[in-house]
Amino acid sequence: MIAGGEITEIVGARSSGRTSLLVRCLADVTRAGGIATLIDTDDVFDVAGAARAGVELRRLLWVRCGDRRSAALRAVDALARCRGFSLVAWDVGDVPPRLALAAAFRLKLAARQSGAAVLIVSPRRIAGAAAMLAVEARPCAPRWDGVPPRARRLAGMRSTVQVLRARGSRTPTTEAWDLEAVEEA
């Protein structure tokens, strides 16, 4: 889904599956031996949950920004220019910043020069035409374990992912996928 030297956006409301998709991308990159960085604008990243989902934490640089959106943007810009990162992921939080078109294209140029994939996770699109791919996650329905009406436990969530923008493609696509509940260790 993500490509080196390009910007990809994952958008969606809370509980849509956008963060699960981010964690999946982090796990894929770190398990393949790549180094990833996560710029966490609101300090909400669940490290233990990411480890259970397969993220190799020793291959992840976690940048906590303490709700400072301008610091997060500067961190993304600086880290996207660094060679050696396979993935620079930015969780913008629930209040995405306004990203000027010039800033988005500078970020795209930085990604191209370093070869890093830049992944932006946000409630709405912010990179505009600078993004090679933009997908939207939407929740469909929860999946429950147990016999109704008692002993019910959330076992997972079914979500759909729709391609909003794919450079070179004119046909939007939608795919359904399941998010599984991970047991606490």
Q: What is the mean pLDDT of the chain?
A: 87
Closest CA to 39 of 56, 64, 14: 64
Alpha-carbon gap, residue 121 to 72, rounded angstroms: 13
The DSSP result for 68-89, as a single string, is -HHHHHHHHHHHHHSTT-SEEE
Distance, in Å, from the CA atom of 32 to the CA atom of 40, rounded to the nearest integer, reads: 22
> What tens digit of pLDDT does each residue of 138-170 get?
887 777 777 777 657 777 777 878 888 887 666
Note the pLDDT tens digit of each residue in 18-42: 998 999 999 999 999 999 999 999 9
- Is residue 169 packed enough to be buried (19+ CB in 10 Å), middle (13-18) or exposed (0-12)? exposed
Residue whose C-alpha is closest to residue 53's, from 23, 25, 86, 31: 23
Q: pLDDT tens digits for 95-133?
A: 888 888 999 999 999 999 999 999 999 999 999 999 999
Tell how strand 7-11 and strand 117-122 pair up: parallel
Q: Which domains does the chain have, with CATH numbers?
A: 7-134 (3.40.50.300)
Q: What is the pTM of this model?
A: 0.86
Q: Where are the alpha helices (DSSP H) in 3-148?
A: 18-31, 47-52, 69-81, 101-114
**Cβ count within 10 A of residue 114:** 19
Q: Rounded to an integer, what distance in angstroms lies between the CA atom of residue 85 and that of residue 83? A: 6
